[in-house]
Chain A
Amino acid sequence: MKKLTRRDFIRNGGKFALGISIAAGFSSLMTGCEGMGDVAALGSSIASSTGLITQSQANSITRSAKAVARTFEDITPEQEYYIGRSVAAMILARYRPYKKKTPNRYVNLVGQTLAMASDRPETFGGYHFLILDSGDINALSAPGGLIFITRGLLRCCRHEDALASVLAHEIGHVQYQHGLQAINKSRITEAVTVLGTETAKTKTFAGEDLASLTSIFEDSVSDILKTMIDSGYSRKFEFQADDAAITIMERVGYNPSGLIDMLNMMKMRLRPGRGDFAKTHPSPSQRIENARDLIGPYVPVEIVKARQSRFLRALKHI
């Protein structure tokens, strides 16, 4: 009988627990949405009573806000895409792109293949990968699937299976929408109120509303960047991304021990105090321990000649 790994246990147990929690989830979700509507209702009621708008406009705002609250709280893939683009642009304001075609093309080939094996292969704008010209050991993923990896982290990968583990980990963050979860909830409430007002007035944003919405957008982008670059995601999210990475690697036929190999190399190369993985991630040792629980016994990565030669050919100048 196959030994039950912790991942099997978590998955099977999780399905049951999730089923049980759905009722609670439904009710809390509905409560949350109603709460959003209530904020706008309160605002429009005040505006109406003070004569700023008519009662009919106030009613319209209340109804609109309720509709938008429900859709906006979900943050549609379209909105996620626009948030992701700006997060990516801000990352590229901190890091220079590595412009060589061959390595970028190769990283996209590995990454986009892995993305197809994820639980969320289709995002609004798709998955795209770019190498950053930096010795830092870092990888970052913007919501929606724009994923970055530094030359420093590529140097921690001795084979394609190790590279796959890094890219699949970032795909995991996109799949679980960890970036969007870093946005302060109050911003969503603010945006809903603005949208409620806007939809009651015109089809497009009036100048003032657009300014407010852009300001909330900027703050949301900033929330995500601060979490990704300064404080890091929670340990729970990082381990969840490692779990997704292992699943994706197995589906494609990579050896998940590639993750262990990469983490061991990272352990040797990380310098405490630098603004990279040392600051934002659990230590490689903690991640190795977690990954070993998920994978089971370490099985050394078999070096497949064709796989290794394309890896070395594409990344020889990294």
Chain B
Amino acid sequence: MKKINLCFLLFLGLAFLYQTGIVTAGTSMSVQVKKAPVRSAPSFFSGKIIKNLAYGNRVAVLSQKGKWIKVAARGATGWMHASALTKKKIIKRAGAGDVEKYARSDEVALAGKGFNKQVEARFMAKNPKISFRWVNRMEAFNVYPSEVRRFLRQGKLSFEGGVQ
């Protein structure tokens, strides 16, 4: 009976770790977004951007604070938001060999497979009346952290953009 209780508690513990998205120091993660900054502090606003990483770059996990993960990558050490990272390894130019190799793996994502630029180009060719001009313009609408800081201060808002 005690054994069962212990197993149940262990299971609950593991389930809790999974649900809270806690990552383990010493493991590796991959950048799952187009461009992701490494920051000097676990915050969108305080501190500086030390380095920008690209899609598929690997990072070594050092520690975690809330939704922020301290990483080491390409000679830099700093903080990244967990939503920019995945536990999966991302293979950027996957060929048949990679697929064979990782056929039974749950830990690999194949970049550029499935719905990609090539498919979008074909979609555009099939639908010449659908314009992507304003979609591209929209993607260029960006605000800088300094503007956000000023916006918050002027509007008497309080978000620290840091550890949640």
User: Which residues of A pack against B, CB within 8 Å?
Assistant: 15, 18-20, 22-23, 60, 63-64, 66-68, 70-72, 74-79, 81-83, 85-86, 88-90, 92-93, 97, 104-105, 108-110, 112-113, 116-117, 119-126, 128-130, 146, 160, 191, 195, 199-205, 210-211, 213-214, 217-218, 220-221, 251-254, 304, 306-307, 310
Contacts and interface: CB of A to CB of B under 8 A. Distances in A.
A214 B100 contact: no
A97 B106 contact: no
Contacts of B113: 68, 71-72, 195, 199
Contact of A214 (B36, B55, B123, B129): B123
A60 B13 CA distance: 39
A307 B83 CA distance: 30
A211 B122 contact: yes
Given A71-B108, A79-B116, A93-B130, 10 more contacts: A18-B19, A70-B106, A78-B112, A117-B159, A122-B83, A126-B33, A128-B141, A129-B141, A130-B138, A253-B159
Nearest to A20: B15
Contacts of A201: 96
B99 interface: yes
B156 A93 contact: no
B16 to A, nearest CB: 6
A97 B134 contact: yes
Interface residues of B, number: 68
B84 interface: yes
Contacts of B123: 86, 214, 217-218, 221
Contacts of B142: 108, 112, 126, 128
A304 B16 CA distance: 41
A195 B114 CA distance: 7
Contact of B118 (A60, A79, A97, A204): A204
Interface in B63-111: 67, 81, 83-84, 88, 93-96, 99-100, 102-106, 108-111
A199 B161 CA distance: 42
Interface residues of A, dominant DSSP: helix
Contacts of A122: 33, 36, 81, 83-84
A67 B16 contact: no
Contact of B83 (A22, A64, A120, A125): A120
B2 interface: no
A72 B114 contact: yes
**3 closest Cβ pairs, A-B complex:** A63-B103, A253-B158, A19-B15
Interface string B137-164: 0110111000110011011111101001
B23 to A, nearest CB: 15
A210 B134 CA distance: 26
> Which residue among A70, A71, A112, A221 has the maximum number of chain B CB atoms within 10 Å of its CB?
A71
A117 B161 contact: yes
B143 to A, nearest CB: 5
B117 A113 contact: no
Nearest to A130: B138
A89 B131 contact: yes
Given A116-B44, A214-B126, A304 B19 contact: no
Interface string B11-43: 110011011000000000000111010000000
Contacts of B111: 76, 78
A275 B88 CA distance: 42
B103 A119 contact: no
A20 to B, nearest CB: 7
B120 A78 contact: no
A145 to B, nearest CB: 10
